Amino acid sequence: MPERKCIMKLKSRLESLAQNSFALPLIDCSPQQVFELLLILCRNLAYERPAPKGEKKLYYFSAEFLLGKLLSNNLLALGIYDEAKAVLSDLGLELSEIEDFEPEPSLGNGGLGRLAACFLDSIAALGLWGDGVGLNYHYGLFFQRFENHKQGEYPNPWIKPQSWLVETGLSFPVSFGSFTVNAQLKDISIPSAGTGLSNRLHLFDVEEPYPLPLSGIDFDKSDIPHCLTAFLYPDDSDEKGRLLRVYQQYFMVSAGAQLILKELDDKGFSPENLADHVSIQINDTHPSMLIPELIRLMVDRGLSMDSAIEQVRQSCAYTNHAILAEALEKWPLDFIETVAPQLVPIIQELDLRVKKAHPESPPIIDEDELVHMAYLDIHYGHSINGVAALHTDILKHTELAPFYSLYPEKFNNKTNGVSFRRWLEVCNPLLSGFITKRIGEGWKKDTSILTYLEDFVDDKDSLNELLAIKSENKRRLKQEIFRLQGAHLNENSVFDIQIKRFHEYKRQQMNALYVIYKYLEIKEGNLPPRPITVIFGGKAAPAYTMAKHIIHLILCLQSLIENDPAVSPWLQVLMVENYNVSKAELLIPACDISEQISLASKEASGTGNMKLMANGAITLGTMDGANVEIADLVGAENIYTFGKSSPQVIKLYAEESYEPLEFYHRSAIEPLVDFILSPELLAIGDPLALTALWKDLKHKDWFMSLLDLEDYIAAKEKALSDYENREAWAKKMLINIARSGFFSSDRSIAQYNEEIWQLC
């Protein structure tokens, strides 16, 4: 417990802030005002902190930083978390109700953006000197609302008069051929616990942002100077949207490159010494134009082309996050000519050099005049990393094989990790207390210590307490879901949770087919040992029709089952509206079974799998991404794996031999797929959407749901039956928690630093 003296000190600071800001005594401030006071206090304290020191500084470039709410994180990092809770309790308030007033900055789509946020947290926690660089999207990822069993998309503004942003007063001109936009620099502090230091997230913005659209998320995409920072990834189903994406990317990297060179100059160094003082991590290919832009600016400042290229090569490193070919960005050279004509001769020169030196290598500019952004990074950076062992292997031997034979020394793996401060300490205080009571506080700084928990694997009291904590977290989720969506969850049921972006390769449709299987079983009178609640959360990209059809099917199933009194006591489907970081913080501690069911070879890593494991959920998954490493760590008896392996799947694609119809005609599968077009579902849903999904599964099924379906059903049934042996299940939970420490982003970042950045 914090000392009373510290509590009083914090309270008196808030008292005077309350007077200054609202001319009110603290006690008379509304909860909203108390939130604002805490925000102002944290923002000022963090901004006053010095940056870590060092010879070399890291710049982490990313088009996404999915920060989530920042108040708890800041309080923790500033060392006033417990004091703040005590002050709030004196005022009759809870931290969680205060946090309700904090809008969530949704500056990311999913895994890649959330990873960037965890990495900033860990870079600061390790005392490393490293800032993030990105864009200040005003509306972030859209707000999802369900209407007529479909996803509706709405703007999601997050910047209020009081926000975490600090205006720096700095700006950089970004020239787009015929016009120039001044990139205003706004900062969010990233303070770290224990070091007294703070890094920053630099977000570039336009001077006059685009006004809030009146309805939906549509806007004038040709009004470039205003809408550069309007939305995260505007709908790119049309050419204007795709062009705007390139404008956004150039805006970010040109301003970022100028910031790097300014800071280098401020320290008294010239661009000739860039690589001694600067490390740059390029998060996927969205910031890849940074390479030619930096080279261009350095040549402008008098460097020879050769030395500019060499300095940039030694500074830049690239992380690949996707195996799907469509996620590897290729832009028409024409687009770049329109957006940043000054970059074209540089890219052409870089391409020419590669064509001369390595005529056998795939070209940066191909015969269709498409610029392959990843190839820029590979040739002109010094490191290429995948995000899980299997993923890096696939990059080396399949996707990027020609480059691996050219530059074997550049390829390396950095298995992803997550911040245990946010994803265990803050989001699951009960489990956090359970751990500390048994092994002390050390795990908060070094998660490998969590293995000490294994000493308690035969301790009945500990196992019972673990089960009780899970139940309590399920009750907390139940309450919140009722408050937010009015739905009633049964906390005595098994909570089976799949939370992630909607994508066919992640196979939410396969989980939906399981729901149909269970529904039909219950209708037949085959009741499960206890009720099952299948929870989904996630958004589909606005232009991704098939993903929206899958959401539609799930919402129709939710409604069908809810209204069927023979089934609803045994089975419930819940689609959580507007899944985001805050919802994840509630769902993850309450999960029993963690669904990680992507088609093997398709999920680069996954990070939700790690968060769920650390919170005592048992993984039901394919041998894909980091699931493979989870399985290695916990052993076969503490995970449920199923499905075809990655080499088997890669072979099926290579031979083009997968035929969904063969699987469809199996007696165990046909009734499940056909149920999509049953009179019951057609009475609820949109026949066109359901038919499109049904046809796709039967005739296309690009991500092979039917291939793994029977195996999946069997594995899930086994997990559900094992769940009934509560003590054995609690042991599995304990072992999963105890062995999750490897997946801390502190470990990932330490490896990035040792093997790529070498900051100190």
- Could you say which residues in the range 307-336 bind ligand 26Q, by CB under 6 A? 321-322, 327, 329
Sole binder of ligand 26Q in the list 70, 193, 203, 604 (CB under 6 A): 604
Catalytic member of 611, 698, 739, 747: 611
Query: Are the beta carbons of 553 and 146 closer than 8 angstroms?
Result: no
Which span sits near ligand 26Q by CB under 6 A: 108-116, 171-179, 560-568, 583-591? 108-116
Residue position matching structure tokens 């290729």: 330
Residue position matching structure tokens 């803050």: 426
- Could you say which residues in the range 484-503 bind ligand 26Q, by CB under 6 A? none
> CA–CA separation, 65 vs 77, rounded Å?
18
Contacts of residues 669-674 at CB distance under 8 Å and 24 or more positions apart, as own/partner, are: 669/706, 669/709, 669/710, 671/520, 672/513, 672/516, 672/517, 672/520, 672/709, 673/513, 673/697, 673/698, 673/706
- Shorter beta-carbon distance to ligand 26Q: residue 578 or 605: 605
- Shorter beta-carbon distance to ligand 26Q: residue 18 or 584: 584
How near is the Cβ of 504 to ligand 26Q at its closest, in Å? 13
How near is the Cβ of 605 to ligand 26Q at its closest, in Å? 4
Residue 555 vs residues 53, 142, 149, 511, 686: alpha-carbon distances, Å: 52, 19, 5, 13, 11
**Judged by CB under 6 A, does residue 607 bind ligand 26Q?**
yes
- Shorter beta-carbon distance to ligand 26Q: residue 199 or 416: 416
- Shorter beta-carbon distance to ligand 26Q: residue 264 or 550: 550
Question: DSSP letters along 81-133, please?
Answer: HHHHHHHHHHTT--HHHHHTTSPP--B-SSHHHHHHHHHHHHHHHTT--EEEE
Query: Are the beta carbons of 567 and 520 closer than 8 angstroms?
Result: no
SS3 576: strand
Catalytic member of 321, 379, 549, 583: 321
Catalytic member of 43, 149, 501, 507: 501
> CA–CA separation, 123 vs 341, rounded Å?
36
**Judged by CB under 6 A, does residue 111 bind ligand 26Q?**
yes
- Could you say which residues in the range 190-219 bind ligand 26Q, by CB under 6 A? none
Contacts of residues 523-527 at CB distance under 8 Å and 24 or more positions apart, as own/partner, are: 523/566, 523/567, 527/570
Sole binder of ligand 26Q in the list 38, 67, 115, 553 (CB under 6 A): 115
Is residue 611 annotated as part of the catalytic site, yes or no?
yes
Question: Helix (H) and strand (E) counts for the chain?
Answer: 32, 19
Torsional sign, CA 346, 352, 355, 358: negative
Cross-strand partners of 153: 144
- Shorter beta-carbon distance to ligand 26Q: residue 478 or 507: 507
- Shorter beta-carbon distance to ligand 26Q: residue 281 or 605: 605
Which span sits near ligand 26Q by CB under 6 A: 107-115, 138-146, 422-430, 437-445? 107-115
- Shorter beta-carbon distance to ligand 26Q: residue 503 or 731: 503
**Judged by CB under 6 A, does residue 282 bind ligand 26Q?**
no
Cα torsion 84, 86, 92, 96 to 10°: value is: 50
Torsional sign, CA 202, 206, 207, 208: negative
- Could you say which residues in the range 351-390 bind ligand 26Q, by CB under 6 A? 387
**Judged by CB under 6 A, does residue 221 bind ligand 26Q?**
no
User: Residue 596 is encoded by which pair of tokens?
Assistant: 């990680």
* Ramachandran area for residue 730 (φ above 0: left; ψ -120 to 50: alpha; else beta): alpha
How near is the Cβ of 733 to ligand 26Q at its closest, in Å? 23
Torsional sign, CA 686, 687, 690, 692: negative
How near is the Cβ of 130 to ligand 26Q at its closest, in Å? 18
Is residue 313 annotated as part of the catalytic site, yes or no?
no
Residues near 368 by beta carbon (within 8 Å), at least 6 away in sequence: none
How near is the Cβ of 148 to ligand 26Q at its closest, in Å? 28
Residues near 467 by beta carbon (within 8 Å), at least 6 away in sequence: 726, 729, 730, 733
How near is the Cβ of 414 to ligand 26Q at its closest, in Å? 9
**Judged by CB under 6 A, does residue 112 bind ligand 26Q?**
yes
Indicate the DSSP class of residue 362. Answer: P
How near is the Cβ of 607 to ligand 26Q at its closest, in Å? 5
How near is the Cβ of 170 to ligand 26Q at its closest, in Å? 28
> CA–CA separation, 143 vs 578, rounded Å?
6
Site string for ligand 26Q, 405-424 (x = CB under 6 A): -----------x--------
Torsional sign, CA 304, 308, 309, 311: positive
Sole binder of ligand 26Q in the list 52, 68, 105, 110 (CB under 6 A): 110
- Shorter beta-carbon distance to ligand 26Q: residue 396 or 470: 396
Count residues binding ligand 26Q (CB under 6 A).
19
Residue nearest to ligand 26Q (CB): 111
Sole binder of ligand 26Q in the list 72, 109, 315, 622 (CB under 6 A): 109
Query: Are the beta carbons of 411 and 391 closer than 8 angstroms?
Result: no
Catalytic member of 286, 506, 549, 747: 506
Sole binder of ligand 26Q in the list 52, 606, 621, 741 (CB under 6 A): 606
- Shorter beta-carbon distance to ligand 26Q: residue 115 or 466: 115
- Shorter beta-carbon distance to ligand 26Q: residue 288 or 511: 288
Catalytic member of 500, 539, 549, 583: 500
How near is the Cβ of 319 to ligand 26Q at its closest, in Å? 7
**Neighbour count for residue 402 (Cβ, 10 Å):** 13
Q: Measuring CA to CA, which residue among 687, 685, 691, 690 is closest to residue 559? A: 685
How near is the Cβ of 135 to ligand 26Q at its closest, in Å? 13
Catalytic member of 285, 607, 619, 622: 607
> CA–CA separation, 603 vs 643, rounded Å?
14
Is residue 501 annotated as part of the catalytic site, yes or no?
yes
Task: Assign 3-class secondary structure to 142-165.
Answer: CEEEEECCEEEEECCCCCCCCCCC
Is residue 500 annotated as part of the catalytic site, yes or no?
yes
- Shorter beta-carbon distance to ligand 26Q: residue 388 or 720: 388
- Shorter beta-carbon distance to ligand 26Q: residue 33 or 144: 144
Sole binder of ligand 26Q in the list 82, 99, 236, 680 (CB under 6 A): 236
**Neighbour count for residue 668 (Cβ, 10 Å):** 12
Is residue 607 annotated as part of the catalytic site, yes or no?
yes
Which span sits near ligand 26Q by CB under 6 A: 471-479, 601-609, 636-644, 738-746? 601-609
How near is the Cβ of 245 to ligand 26Q at its closest, in Å? 6
Phi and psi dihedrals of 589, rounded to 5? -65, -20
Sole binder of ligand 26Q in the list 480, 603, 629, 701 (CB under 6 A): 603
Query: Are the beta carbons of 22 and 29 closer than 8 angstroms?
Result: yes
**Judged by CB under 6 A, does residue 234 bind ligand 26Q?**
no
Query: Are the beta carbons of 58 and 116 closer than 8 angstroms?
Result: no
- Shorter beta-carbon distance to ligand 26Q: residue 88 or 614: 614
How near is the Cβ of 717 to ligand 26Q at its closest, in Å? 27
Report how far apart the first and last C-alpha atoms of the chain are (Å, whole number).
Answer: 35
Which span sits near ligand 26Q by CB under 6 A: 341-349, 440-448, 597-605, 696-704? 597-605
Sole binder of ligand 26Q in the list 625, 660, 685, 741 (CB under 6 A): 625
Residue 671 vs residues 242, 525, 566, 677: alpha-carbon distances, Å: 41, 17, 20, 10
- Residues at the contact surface with ligand 26Q, assessed by CB under 6 A: 109-112, 115, 236, 284, 321-322, 327, 329, 387, 416, 603-607, 625
Residues labelled as active-site residues: 321, 500-501, 506, 607, 611
